[in-house]
Chains A and B, each alone.
Chain A
Amino acid sequence: MFIITCPFCGERDQSEFSAGGEAHIVRPKQPTELSDDEWADFLFMRKNIKGVQFERWNHAHGCRKWFNVIRDTSNDKIHAVYKMGEKPPTK
């Protein structure tokens, strides 16, 4: 069980958070203009990689805010945490 630094509340136990899958998948502004394949790409396709992954997390049992996390899925090491709408930090 890891520790996540909520950008609004600080360090908290993982049990306070819920995971929201891959980050930076933007909901299309004009869905009706997309083909079935393009829509399916948004709807279903996720990378689910072993390694450094961009993820969404929600401080569900805290401030209820959503934010982004850069986590290595192979060892759970968290490289960065940043707010929704912010650009991922470059390293």
Chain B
Amino acid sequence: MSENFRSLETKFLDKTNRISFKYNGKKYYGYKGDTLASALLSNGIHLIGRSFKYHRPRGIMTCGSEEPNAIVQIGGTGSFTEPNVRATEQEIYEGLEASSQNCWPSVEFDVGGINNFISPVIPAGFYYKTFMWPKKLWYSLYEPAIRMSAGLGKSPTQPDPELYDHNHLHCDVLVVGGGISGIIAASISSDNGNNTVLIDDKNSLGGSTIFQDDENFKINDEISSVWLNNQIKKIKNKKNLIIKHRTSLAAYHSYNYLLARENLADHKSLNERSNKLRQRLWKIRAKKVILATGAIERPLIFNNNDRPGVMLANSVKKYIDYFGVRCGNKNIIFTNNDSAYETAISLNKKGINVSIVDIRNNSSSILVKNAKDAGIKIYWNHTVVNTAGYRRIKSIQIMKMSEDGTNVIDSKINLVCDNLSISGGWTPMVHLFTQSGGKLKFRDSDQVFLPNVTTSDQISIGSCNGDFELDDVIKNTISECKNFLSLSLTDFDLLKVNCPKQKESKNIWLLPNDKPLGKTKPFLDFQNDSTAKDIKLAMREGFRSIEHVKRYTTTGMGTDQGKLANMHALGIISETAGVKMGTLGTTTFRPPYTPLTFGTIVGRNVGTFFDIARKTPMHAWHENRKAKFENVGQWKRAWYYPMDDESIHQAVQRESKAARESAGILDASTLGKIDIKGTDASEFLNRVYTNAWSKLGIGKCRYGLMLNEDGMVYDDGVTTRLDENHYVMTTTTGGAANVLSKLEDYLQTEWPELDVWLTSVTDQYATASVCGPNSKNILKKLFPKVEFNDENFPHMSFKNAELDGINCRIMRISFTGEHSYEINIESKYGKSLWEKCMDEGKEFNITPYGTETMHLLRAEKGFIIVGQDTDGTMTPIDLQMDWIVSKKKYDFIGKRSLYRSDTMREDRKQLVGLLTDNPNEVLEEGAQIVQDEKKQPIEMLGHVTSSYFSPNLNKSIALAVIKNGKKLKGQKLLVPMKDKTIKVTVSDYIFFDSKNERLNA
């Protein structure tokens, strides 16, 4: 391992900035600008991890985001650790710690490697087929064992301490990809007055042209990399061009809405990045989008093509020409096209031993001629049939191919090597184009899917549009951009480009072998360990659709989303099924293009910013009184107020008794309040509530029930007539926004002729509800000028009043069944109103109570809570609330639905009361109710909706919805629980003060 593979000078790295990092606990060195992959390769390390299923040793294969094998865990065990990071993308920094994944005890010796030897008996679908029986072993044995041996990296166990941000960005033109075509496009766009943004996922621009030193590639008589380098210098000074490095496009949605992840800190040491943003998610809205996302090289599919040291040819070229790292001392290139010859020539020029195996008969390309002239040995019309070497490739065996390419002939030749660079041609990166809704076409000549039809304002240029040769790339980039941006001239119009042209091409998806397929391991998806065999097996078992084959074999389902695998899977399916590839279609390309961390997705929306918390003006008082809170929608409502060491049960029992015996006070500020004004306000209420409203006098209140058009209960609340044409409606806490939206809908769309205006005033008023036999005495002290006798201020009526000169609205209404008042005051006085009530109520032992006690008190009275006792399938008739449904009104929302055959069924679930035979036994809300436990299948009659121990009745009470419940009064039913069965009797649903005598007490 001591050999240094960084043999060459390179202008792309800062050689003065040497960096140390740790890999699997051992210290290594690299340079600023290295990726983890290039740094490891420079230290002679190819073996990175073990494969997902067979635990085969795997090495670095590529130099970019398509990497299937070289995925590592970054960071130790602390909160900064991150699994599944591609070593080919991670830049090294001082102190970086990386380790191999999916291996135990070490990547060199991995126990799971046994899977490789039993691989013939674990083909695709093995898990589905094998671990079905006996069923109960799944949870106890199969799943834990499979999860132990499979799985990728380890998730962090502590909260992510780093900062993430979301930003919006608007631009005229967004160019995605900083290769040569993207740079030309960004240059043309910004030169012509467009605010342009260029994003690129690497730390420097230039794509693969920036390290193209071959003299065959020239632009305006300069070597292409030199010309491009000058262009990059020029665009850096353009005023209306923003360039974003280390920014990868994650998603491309309709209407040119794109998400990009900018990496701000992952290349910095932990000291440098403290308290700074790690990543930023850009939400980009671009008028026009130019995709220049390039192409990735295809592997070749042959036996044992997955050993460490097997790499893509163009990546090997990048490692030598960009990073100055040779991937081996004895290289073999295995190709079906001319482009891999660039790698061979590059290696040869640097004095590195290289030979070529080509499946074609010959090629007349200038590159091939140069290779021949350089004396590079070429094996024409040969294919690799096997490779050897466990932790690193040691040799390959090649054989001559038959005339038609379906078989191999003659004897095997053994070639020694420590690197095998493979090239199966190129695949345009059309992911983003299809994400945006674009449709693809298939080009038979080189077997590629290309952008075809799109509805977005976008173009694809360069190799992602199927141009693989420099002259085509430049010529078409310029003409496409001119057309797209409506230009007649650009600075690039007269460029002179020279480059070699691809000559003879030959494509074989699955290369022939001397052994039957069953005895070989030609890997397609390196990350998920699926082979050509698995694809054929899936097809034999009847899978035809690419989407089904994908899921059955898991091909393309790794974190690389099959960037290398998918084309070959399609190719083998089309060959096997005898179907044209163009008609097969592709699997769906889904965002994100490369994995995002959760931190980037959520940005600042963590902790208290995760969701809005709405607090009432009295909130601080409740907190001070050590109230426990419950979430109701976004509201924090006081749930109960424990004293000393009280449990919730003890607190609620105390609060409930106090409210009925003397006085209680509830913060009701969260109830929705809608101000209704207009000459048709009464008519409007007539139409939205089930009961009649025209005759409600000014200063009176009425309870209303609101249905959906399907006849099901939607909301309820008390509405008060403040004036001739002025009402204030209350809604449930959770339903407020929906009710307002529904009312607006009807007003604007169905009844635009009504003169009615709706305003939400929920936040404008604070409400204290004072109840109990002494409530009147407290109110008298608070409002000495108001007469509180039953004649002047009866139940269900309203008075304006003043508290220290501040206007209040007092409604005498009750949700507890007690004599009760709701005092509404401008929000900012809410807390002082509350404190005054507490002061004046002190002599009456006024007791603050929370939502739990409120629920208990109303349940004693049989008042429903919409959303607890109803679930969107309950009509007022089901709730035994026939009394509130007007027979006289011609129409109201939902009326017609109450007469549908289904809603009129008598055996619907209906609201009833339940009493347990043992009065101390409290039912669980949600518990199922049955009649006969032994009947199979057991018949569910309904369920418990509300259940409490009532301190005022000294027994357990419950509300439930039960099939045909109205007729079951007095009947014995059963509530089976996990460890016992509770006997219950159906009762009336009003348990307490059924004559409403306490309202006027």
Contacts and interface: CB of A to CB of B under 8 A. Distances in A.
Instruction: Kindly name the residue among B741, B749, B750 whose own CB sees the greatest number of chain A CB atoms within 10 A.
Output: B749
Given A58-B745, A64-B744, A75-B455, A36 B901 contact: yes
Contact of A85 (B255, B752, B890): B752
B582 to A, nearest CB: 21
A76 interface: yes
Interface string B424-444: 000000000000010000000
Interface stretch (B111-119, B405-413, B892-900, B909-917): B892-900
Contacts of A56: 749
Given A32-B895, A66-B745, A75 B900 contact: no
A34 B741 contact: no
A51 interface: no
B900 A40 contact: yes
Nearest to B751: A27
Contacts of A75: 254, 437, 455
A53 B165 CA distance: 37
B155 interface: no
A42 to B, nearest CB: 8
Nearest to A72: B455
Interface in B715-757: 741, 744-745, 748-750, 752
Nearest to B740: A64
B897 to A, nearest CB: 7
Nearest to B902: A36
Contacts of A32: 890-891, 895-896, 899
A18 B255 CA distance: 17
Contact of A2 (B255, B709, B890): B255
B132 to A, nearest CB: 38
A25 to B, nearest CB: 10
B628 interface: no
Interface residues of A, number: 27
A66 B255 contact: no
Nearest to B896: A31
A39 B455 CA distance: 39
A58 B292 CA distance: 37
A3 B710 CA distance: 32
B741 A76 contact: no
B747 to A, nearest CB: 9
A85 B751 CA distance: 11
B174 to A, nearest CB: 15
B748 A84 contact: yes
A84 B749 CA distance: 6
Contacts of B752: 84-85
Interface residues of B, number: 24
Interface in B245-272: 253-255, 257
A58 B744 CA distance: 10
A60 B741 contact: yes
B748 A65 contact: yes
Contacts of A84: 748-749, 752
Contacts of A9: none
A29 to B, nearest CB: 8
A14 B253 CA distance: 12
B749 A66 contact: yes
A77 B257 contact: no
A1 interface: yes
Interface string B862-902: 00000000000000000000000000001100011101110
A66 B749 CA distance: 7
B748 A76 contact: no
Contacts of B891: 30-32
A20 interface: yes
A85 B455 CA distance: 30
Nearest to B255: A2
Nearest to B168: A13
B877 to A, nearest CB: 17
A43 interface: yes
A75 B457 CA distance: 13
Contact of A39 (B748, B750, B890, B896): B896
Contacts of B709: 27, 43
Contacts of A65: 748
A63 to B, nearest CB: 11
Contacts of B254: 1-2, 75-76
Interface in A33-54: 34, 36, 39-40, 43
A58 B750 CA distance: 14
Interface string A47-91: 000000000101010001110000000011100000011000000
Nearest to A77: B455
A24 to B, nearest CB: 10
Contacts of B899: 32
B564 to A, nearest CB: 30
Given A66-B744, A76-B254, A31 B437 contact: no
Contacts of A1: 253-255, 257
B954 to A, nearest CB: 47
Interface of B: 253-255, 257, 285, 437, 455, 709-710, 741, 744-745, 748-750, 752, 890-891, 895-897, 899-901
30 contacts: A1-B253, A1-B255, A1-B257, A2-B257, A3-B255, A3-B285, A20-B745, A27-B709, A31-B895, A31-B896, A32-B891, A32-B896, A34-B896, A36-B900, A39-B900, A43-B709, A43-B710, A43-B897, A56-B749, A60-B741, A64-B741, A65-B748, A66-B749, A75-B254, A76-B254, A76-B255, A76-B455, A77-B455, A84-B749, A84-B752
List the 8 closest A-B pairs by CB distance, nearest first. Answer: A31-B896, A2-B255, A75-B455, A76-B254, A66-B748, A1-B257, A27-B750, A3-B255
Given A1-B255, A31-B891, A43-B897, 15 more contacts: A1-B253, A1-B257, A2-B257, A32-B890, A32-B891, A32-B896, A34-B896, A39-B896, A43-B709, A58-B745, A60-B741, A64-B744, A75-B254, A84-B749, A84-B752
